[in-house]
């Protein structure tokens, strides 16, 4: 007997959203990940792992990557293929768990391992495997990784163990520990050299030649297997070096946190910053680097893997896409929205955020603020040739100020006061207009401080937040300014100022909220009267507050989207996301909360489900989905009169797994390849969209 479950997708979707929202990724791809590690074998087969439960596979050295969900949707820290298996045997590493596949990823098995901060697997003689991890020990297996023994060390080590051969290995211990050497594939370790300063990172070219970077930023070299070390240089060595790779006895590559590559052609005596690696890509942070000879792969933030075939002299993207640094968003209508891109103009949507196009401005944009007056009128306040305005949606641009002001007055932030005054603020001047920009008045304040934020409570009272924890106030609409704080409650930049009411101003720095109720003269946590915020606040049309709480970068969830429905007194977590992302703007109808971050990521949360009242073309009845729960295959009966639709499958992290065109009124969908769990189906046609939850058993 077949049991049918008839669900109204609209009603069901509302129940899902009331429990927890999901983030839909719009750009630059249909998924997001901070890639953490990558491994590609000499034949071009490889894997990559990252946040958002992402697992990627390649068979052509990364020219193409197949994206899939990691086992159990875990966020893995490291990946390595067993040599000689064409990456059919692959290991995924995270705290306490090694997950292994011997059939190219078709099936996976978990192996318990007492690891923390897993770094790398080393396949040695016979069936010996050694696991480097962030602890005072290594893990060693003699049966190919089935079982593990912990071998304690006296000190921790920052990098990884190094094995120039399948029996000989080295460990650089930090915190005063000596150099360790093994000749029996990691079964025992002997101290062979004591460094003067803490040994941080090193690398080996062969069994005899190795290099070391120490706590005092010095480079050392050995030519006798670590028994003796000679100082190469103690000058000009980059700080925060995290990886040292010898390509030959004289050619070295160094990774410097967070996204710099340095090269040396003279054995580490001098270094050159190769700033072309990752140039123009905002928000990159290199997380894992793998190489075969001079072939390098860099796993990094921003859904990016970089590839080099020349020892990191050059590199190309393996996920080509536009990755600007988004600074602010605004939706003047439900369909039209703008996202400001530092140094790259703006992105614009005219279909409610489904698609975005880049508006190229005819000048160099270096701005973190803009003002959208309506669907067609936008002002960008700061650039190399002064503020500009468009009145045709970005097709053409013109200087905002008269020539004598445009060439001499540099402004960074812009606000429109309640009475209509346009006010622009810079490090030395303020400029305002009371007649829509026909005439302008220049105010000299002379503070010479870089402004980070600006708000006005009314037509008279306003505040500017600046570098160094400085805040400036005006009581006459910006015609004069007074400094009211000079880093007393924080020396960090005042990036967000928010008006709680007509008398109270709030600022959140590093998760700590401070308020002023006396015009910014005094600030304290008590002045908020219980109001707080995890970060900068975005307000919905109904008065609901939304903000982002950033978590540790080592966490599977890196951002919590939180909301407050009582003016900031209490907050609840309504959505999790696996990379850093911040609320941008909410559409005037309150339906979508748009989010953004650097590295070109745009996303949104549907705050209100689609209503049949929103459908202009015809009355769309509910799609029927059955069976639900399912063991794999489901049937979808499309609404009456609908013969085709686009169907997309999402996990609860908002990651789109795949899409399928439905061309008949009753269609089937095969979910048997998905792990057990809950998923979202999105069906869309001409003028309508519906969603449903499906459980795979």
The tens digit of pLDDT for each residue in 337-347 reads 999 988 778 89
pLDDT band (50, 70, 90) for residue 677 = confident
Helix, coil or strand: residue 349: strand
Mean pLDDT, rounded, for 95-104: 94
Helix, coil or strand: residue 406: helix
The Cα 510–Cα 143 span in angstroms is 48
> Can you give the pLDDT at residue 15?
29
Residue 554 has pLDDT above 70, yes or no: no
Domains of the chain, start order? 154-273 (2.120.10.30), 325-540 (2.130.10.10), 541-606 (no CATH), 614-696 (2.60.40.3080)
pLDDT band (50, 70, 90) for residue 245 = very high
Mean pLDDT, rounded, for 335-364: 88
> Can you give the pLDDT at residue 552?
73
Of residues 204, 225, 229, 306, the one with CA closest to residue 261: 306
The Cα 88–Cα 81 span in angstroms is 8
The Cα 239–Cα 249 span in angstroms is 22
Mean pLDDT, rounded, for 121-134: 93
Q: Which residues pair with 592 in a beta bridge?
A: 606
The Cα 605–Cα 591 span in angstroms is 8
Class of residue 478 by CB neighbours under 10 A (exposed 0-12, middle 13-18, buried 19+): buried
pLDDT band (50, 70, 90) for residue 687 = low
pLDDT band (50, 70, 90) for residue 220 = very high
The Cα 299–Cα 182 span in angstroms is 30
**Cα angle vertex 575, ends 614, 661, to 5°?**
50
Mean pLDDT, rounded, for 582-595: 94
Residue 547 has pLDDT above 90, yes or no: yes
Is residue 243 a contact partner of residue 201, using CB atoms and an 8 Å limit? Answer: yes
> Can you give the pLDDT at residue 651?
66
Of residues 118, 197, 196, the one with CA closest to residue 161: 118
The Cα 17–Cα 607 span in angstroms is 7
195-211 per-position pLDDT tens digit: 999 999 999 999 999 99
Mean pLDDT, rounded, for 299-303: 94
Residue 610 has pLDDT above 50, yes or no: no
Of residues 483, 590, 696, 682, the one with CA closest to residue 22: 682
Residues making up the chain, counted from first to last:
697
pLDDT band (50, 70, 90) for residue 609 = low
Among the residue ranges 238-247, 290-299, 339-348, 547-556, the one predicted with the least confidence is 547-556
The Cα 58–Cα 268 span in angstroms is 34
Q: How many Å separate Cα 463 from the centre of its chain?
A: 31
What are the b/e assignments for 398-433, b being 16+ CB within 10 Å? eebbeeebbeebbbbbbbebeeebbbbbbbebbbbb
> Can you give the pLDDT at residue 694?
82
Among the residue ranges 109-118, 523-532, 619-628, the one predicted with the least confidence is 619-628
Q: What is the mean pLDDT of the chain?
A: 88
Mean pLDDT, rounded, for 311-329: 92
Q: Which letter does DSSP use for residue 613 in this model? A: G
Mean pLDDT, rounded, for 553-578: 87
Residue 48 has pLDDT above 70, yes or no: yes
pLDDT band (50, 70, 90) for residue 14 = very low
Mean pLDDT, rounded, for 403-419: 90
- pTM for the whole thing? 0.81
Residue 619 has pLDDT above 60, yes or no: no
> Can you give the pLDDT at residue 617?
40
pLDDT band (50, 70, 90) for residue 81 = very high
- Classify strands 398-399 and 624-626 as parallel, antiparallel or unpaired: unpaired
Better-predicted residue by pLDDT, 289 or 623: 289
Distances (CA, A) of 271 to 210, 250, 267, 561: 17, 12, 9, 43
> Can you give the pLDDT at residue 502?
75
Mean pLDDT, rounded, for 546-569: 86
627-645 per-position pLDDT tens digit: 888 888 888 888 777 778 8
Of residues 576, 683, 692, 670, the one with CA closest to residue 73: 576
In angstroms, how far apart are the furthest CA atoms of the chain?
83
The Cα 32–Cα 655 span in angstroms is 7
Residue 18 has pLDDT above 70, yes or no: no
The pair of structure tokens assigned to 61 is 């050295």
């Amino acid at each position: 007997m077949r049991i049918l479950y008839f669900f109204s997708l609209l009603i069901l979707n509302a129940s899902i959203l009331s429990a927890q929202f999901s983030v839909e990724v719009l750009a630059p791809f249909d998924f997001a990940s901070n890639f953490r590690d990558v491994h590609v074998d000499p034949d071009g087969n490889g894997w990559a792992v990252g946040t958002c439960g992402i697992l990627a596979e390649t068979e052509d050295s990364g020219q193409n990557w197949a994206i899939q969900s990691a086992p159990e949707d875990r966020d893995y820290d490291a990946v390595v293929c067993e040599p000689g298996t064409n990456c059919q045997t692959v290991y995924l590493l995270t705290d306490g768990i090694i997950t292994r596949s011997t059939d190219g990823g078709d099936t996976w098995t978990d192996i318990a391992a007492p690891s923390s901060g897993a770094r790398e697997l080393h396949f040695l003689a016979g069936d010996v495997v050694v696991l480097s991890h962030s602890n005072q020990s290594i893990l060693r297996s003699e049966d190919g990784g089935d079982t593990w023994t912990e071998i304690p060390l006296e000190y921790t080590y920052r990098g990884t163990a190094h094995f120039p051969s399948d029996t000989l290995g080295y460990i650089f211990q930090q915190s005063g520990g000596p150099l360790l050497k093994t000749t029996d594939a990691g079964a025992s370790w002997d101290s062979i050299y004591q460094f003067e300063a803490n040994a941080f990172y090193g690398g080996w070219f062969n069994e005899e030649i190795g290099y070391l970077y120490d706590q005092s930023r010095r480079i050392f070299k050995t030519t006798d297997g670590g028994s003796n070390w000679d100082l190469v240089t103690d000058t000009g060595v980059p700080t925060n070096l995290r990886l040292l790779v010898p390509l030959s006895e004289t050619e070295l590559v160094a990774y410097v946190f967070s996204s710099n590559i340095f090269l040396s052609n003279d054995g580490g005596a001098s270094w050159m910053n190769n700033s072309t690696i990752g140039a123009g890509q905002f928000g990159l942070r290199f997380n894992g680097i793998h190489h075969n000879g001079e072939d390098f792969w860099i796993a990094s933030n921003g859904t990016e893997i970089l590839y080099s075939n020349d020892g990191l002299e050059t590199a190309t993207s393996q996920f080509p896409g536009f990755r600007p640094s988004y600074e602010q968003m605004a939706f003047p209508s439900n369909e039209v929205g703008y996202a400001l891109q530092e140094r790259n103009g703006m992105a614009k949507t005219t279909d409610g955020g489904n698609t975005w196009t880049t508006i190229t401005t005819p000048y160099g944009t270096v701005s973190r603020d803009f003002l959208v007056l309506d669907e067609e009128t936008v002002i960008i306040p700061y650039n190399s040739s002064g503020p500009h305005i468009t009145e045709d949606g970005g097709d053409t641009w013109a200087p905002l100020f008269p020539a004598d002001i445009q060439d001499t007055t540099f402004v960074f932030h812009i606000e429109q006061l309640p009475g209509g005054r346009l006010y622009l603020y810079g490090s030395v001047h303020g400029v305002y207009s009371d007649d829509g920009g026909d005439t302008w008045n220049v105010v000299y304040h002379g503070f010479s401080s870089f402004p980070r934020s600006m708000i006005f409570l009314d037509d008279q009272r306003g505040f500017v937040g600046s570098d160094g924890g400085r805040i400036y106030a005006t009581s006459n609409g910006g015609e004069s300014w007074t400094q009211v704080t000079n880093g007393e409650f924080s020396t960090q930049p005042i990036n967000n100022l928010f008006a709680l009411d007509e008398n109270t101003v709030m600022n959140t720095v590093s998760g700590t909220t401070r308020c002023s109720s006396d015009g910014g003269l005094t600030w304290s946590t008590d002045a908020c009267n219980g109001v707080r915020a995890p970060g900068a606040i975005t307000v919905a049309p109904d008065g609901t507050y939304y903000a982002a709480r950033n978590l540790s970068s080592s966490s599977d969830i890196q951002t919590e989207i939180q909301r407050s429905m009582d003016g900031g007194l209490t907050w609840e977590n309504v959505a999790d996301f696996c990379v850093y992302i911040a609320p941008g703007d909410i559409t005037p109808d309150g339906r979508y909360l748009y989010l953004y971050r650097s590295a070109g990521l745009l996303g949104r949360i549907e705050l209100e489900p689609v209503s049949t009242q929103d459908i202009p073309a015809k009355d769309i009845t509910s799609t029927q989905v059955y069976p639900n729960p399912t063991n794999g295959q489901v049937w979808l009966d499309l609404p009456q009169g609908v013969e085709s639709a686009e169907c997309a499958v999402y996990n609860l992290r908002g990651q789109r797994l795949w899409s399928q065109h439905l061309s008949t009124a009753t269609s089937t969908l095969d979910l048997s390849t998905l792990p057990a769990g809950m998923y979202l189906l999105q069906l869309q046609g001409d003028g309508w969209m519906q969603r449903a939850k499906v459980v795979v058993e």
